[in-house]
Structure 1
């Protein structure tokens, strides 16, 4: 396609660039058009080095809620995001973009790492009921007045949101916005009695969407789960639910020696449970073998268009049976491009339940000027 044809379809970029420069000179920032916002959000997904599911980047649906700054409205719109993304289990890739940071006022912030996360209640003996990853955020929410849930391993955390007009506040997610899948097993009837479950929509919430120098600090987005994210990480990691010893015992495996490969066998059965349960519930999920092949399809399409694909090998290779997937046998270069979804240091603090320090505090680390 020639530059002339591009200008005919999209307009002369020189005029838009001149308008942006004039707006920046007048206000210190500029406002993206709706088309720019949609394209930027999609390309940010395409540029995500750690995501194996980028074949679908062009299908990302974008909800433009840049008019929303108030924490209560962000909470309501986030619940709507979950309802729209869930669709009774037919998960759709979706992003909701809230107000950006401007020189005059920062945009809203969502402290939660994901819109749906399970509480972690620290006990006096050092043990944790629930998800140890969320102990800090759970304590922060309770410090803000959240009374806590029933005390199960799978209590849904409230959203903790702050805006420029007030400090952080907590907002309970409505029940109809949270679809969960009870985990069973295709061969072991006793599995159901374990009471395991997981939520259907993995909506990242505390990353900043950066497009053309504009930061949207609250822009929750989701695709759908790859089964290993739940079965090989969330439920199996030793610093998360650490279920492998428990599952192995119930399976009657010899856990006295690693050479019995009890961890491997328990891990496979736990991942089988996740895929079986999501399929049985009619909830979208993919498996690591399928998604690895699709990632290579994405890589081929992009390279044919002259767009080299950056990727972080340690994230692209699945956490189970890595060498049995085609991505294991490839090398990738990690390339930072914009637009992008990025973590700023204070976002990580919020996810841990740590209130961000004042930028004027000399003890606070300097904010990097580039991507982090």
Structure 2
């Protein structure tokens, strides 16, 4: 019996992954051949195949290594992988996600983690999560203004339609929305003690703490598809840790997010009437100093953008020594603060997509 035309592509992806994965793990050509034959037979019989636990774990690590937008790939081999493919219900999935948050947070000593749920089969996603990240702040439309994070207005409104009532503060943690195939999405509120947050203060500028800024400790991306060897995992939330500029130069600084630069400038006594005073730049630097200071004071892992760029340079050298081309999305790799002061700014990268990898996907229906 031979593979049908529509299954040949899957088999080719599977074989490519197995040879690459097994080679990296030091497994013999004979083991590779045997495994590829097993997969071929499984695809003939069922139309798909199942990764072993070690294939899933190394495949997830490879996906991080291949993520073109990530500057923090040096530590890809340290990723902790939780195999939760057996989970079938939204309620049980929520328990696993809370465990992920607890484990990853680790009291502030952040651990890079991924939790992989059941794969897509015959175009069906057994489980999906609607949230972009496991921890995000609500955004409420207030006539012409927004209270909270404007990036999350749509998600906030969806949660409200499902019955959630927020406290209407600038930093309300959104609940999780999880959907089983064929069922309506369900709402789950995160325990307050599992979300670690860092209040923002400044080591020198008085009054920054009175602006009541804060941010959550762990960025856990939850809406991307993990692809390993032609198998799609539509629910595979993962995290590293923050680079300071993600918070200080984007989340809290962007004019259409929390827009805190004018408030910082006022505290600093800057002239905001002219762009030539560079008040935006001065306030931006001090806001980033505040973020770095606050995370350090709270004992929460955070990397500054200069250190992150140096770590990426080490990653590039290690990949080259392994004979692997380093791919990257330059626009995402350069930091939003002082990019030209890093080597990344001055170096071209090929934005070729290598699998395993993470991909954006349509929202669940």
Choose the corresponding residue for 2:164, options 115, 125, 146: 146
Measured after TM superposition, the shift of residue 188 of structure 1 is 2.0
Match of 2:115, SS state, is strand
After the TM superposition, which of the residue ranges 244-253 and 303-312 deviates more from structure 2? 244-253
> Which contiguous aligned blocks of 4+ residues in structure 1 show a shift greater than 6 angstroms?
3-7
Choose the corresponding residue for 2:173, options 156, 160, 174: 156
Choose the corresponding residue for 1:136, options 135, 144, 154: 154
CA distance in 2, matches of 1:8, 1:281: 43
Residue 257 (1) aligns with residue 268 (2) = no
Match of 1:190, SS state, is coil
Match of 2:235 in 1: 218
CA distance in 1, matches of 2:239, 2:107: 15
CA distance in 2, matches of 1:140, 1:155: 15
After the TM superposition, which of the residue ranges 161-170 and 45-54 deviates more from structure 2? 161-170
After the TM superposition, which of the residue ranges 235-244 and 38-47 deviates more from structure 2? 235-244
Q: Is the 8 A contact 1:248 1:263 kept in 2?
A: yes
Question: Structure 1 316/36 Cα, relative in aligned 2: closer, same or farther at 3 Å?
Answer: same
Match of 1:285, SS state, is coil
Match of 1:43 in 2: 62
Question: Structure 1 333/105 Cα, relative in aligned 2: closer, same or farther at 3 Å?
Answer: closer
Measured after TM superposition, the shift of residue 192 of structure 1 is 1.1
CA distance in 2, matches of 1:333, 1:43: 18
1:320-344 Cα distance to aligned partner (Å, 9 max, x none): 0111112112111111011010001
**Aligned residue-pair number:** 344
Match of 1:13 in 2: 32
Choose the corresponding residue for 2:287, options 264, 267, 270: 270
Residue 332 (1) aligns with residue 362 (2) = no
Measured after TM superposition, the shift of residue 250 of structure 1 is 2.1
Q: Is the 8 A contact 1:107 1:216 kept in 2?
A: no
Q: 1:24-173 to 2 correspondence within 5 Å? A: 24-103=43-122, 105-123=124-142, 125-148=143-166, 150-173=167-190
Match of 1:225, SS state, is coil
Q: Is the 8 A contact 2:207 2:267 kept in 1?
A: no
Match of 1:293 in 2: 310
Measured after TM superposition, the shift of residue 5 of structure 1 is 11
| Structure 1: gaps (5+ residues) | 351-355, 357-372
- Taking only aligned residues, the RMSD between alpha carbons, in angstroms, comes to 1.7
Measured after TM superposition, the shift of residue 189 of structure 1 is 3.0
Q: Is the 8 A contact 1:7 1:13 kept in 2?
A: no
Match of 1:103, SS state, is coil
| Structure 2: gaps (5+ residues) | 1-21
CA distance in 2, matches of 1:197, 1:4: 45
CA distance in 2, matches of 1:327, 1:105: 40
TM-score (norm 1): 0.89
After the TM superposition, which of the residue ranges 183-192 and 263-272 deviates more from structure 2? 183-192
CA distance in 1, matches of 2:354, 2:68: 9
Match of 2:140, SS state, is strand
1:54-99 Cα distance to aligned partner (Å, 9 max, x none): 0000110100000113111111111110000011000010000011
TM-score (norm 2): 0.91
